[in-house]
Amino acid sequence: MDDIVKAAMLKWPQVPHCHGWLALDARGSWFMRDERVQAAGDFSLVKGSRVDHGKLLDFIERNYMPDADGGWYFQNGPQRVYVDLEAAPFVWRLQAMADGAVQVAAHTGAPAQVRSSWLDAQGRLFLDCDIGFGLVHTLDTGIAAVAIDASRWQPQVLEFSAMPLRFGYQLRPRPTAQGAG
């Protein structure tokens, strides 16, 4: 977390959390969802405005983390901006190495080590990694197929609806009775 964010949290500790205004799609893109977009429907129906500003993207991704209940958020100064997820908290980018190994990195740029792999009914490949759970980017499915054919990964089948509970994340974090994410 950025030092400026930590300082703001100390200065203003009682800022309410924000829900529904930021979303992450299945390709690792961030979307702002103002009141008009939220009123038009769920993130699966109406995405909102894609965040393309490089420095803002870097700031969001440096300060992106989960709470104790599996709600993922971006710490924006003293405020937690909870993120609606289209598929999972991370979108994995893959790079094939000369020795046949596969390097895995999150959409945030963080490197990851694969612990297990999973397929849903749509044939989407998810990886459980040391830093969290995520979906393999569609552009990298060829690299993933080679890893599976080489028995580096042995995907198990799991219904998409069961993934959030199994891997401890929320697709749409909303306030609880205690006011948390």
120-136 tens-digit pLDDT: 999 999 999 999 999 99
Amino acid (one-letter) located at 177? A
7-to-13, 51, 65, 73, 83 alpha-carbon distances in Å: 10, 25, 17, 18, 22
55-103 pLDDT, tens per residue? 999 999 999 999 999 999 998 877 889 999 999 999 999 999 999 899 9
pLDDT of 5 reads 55
Domain boundaries, the chain: 3-85, 90-167
Q: Which helix (H) or strand (E) holds 85?
A: strand 79-85
Residue 136: both structure tokens together: 């393999």
How far, in Å, CA of 30 to CA of 22, rounded? 7
Predicted TM-score of the model (pTM): 0.87
- Count Cβ atoms below 10 Å from residue 147 Cβ, excluding itself: 24
How far, in Å, CA of 59 to CA of 76, rounded? 9
- Count Cβ atoms below 10 Å from residue 135 Cβ, excluding itself: 26
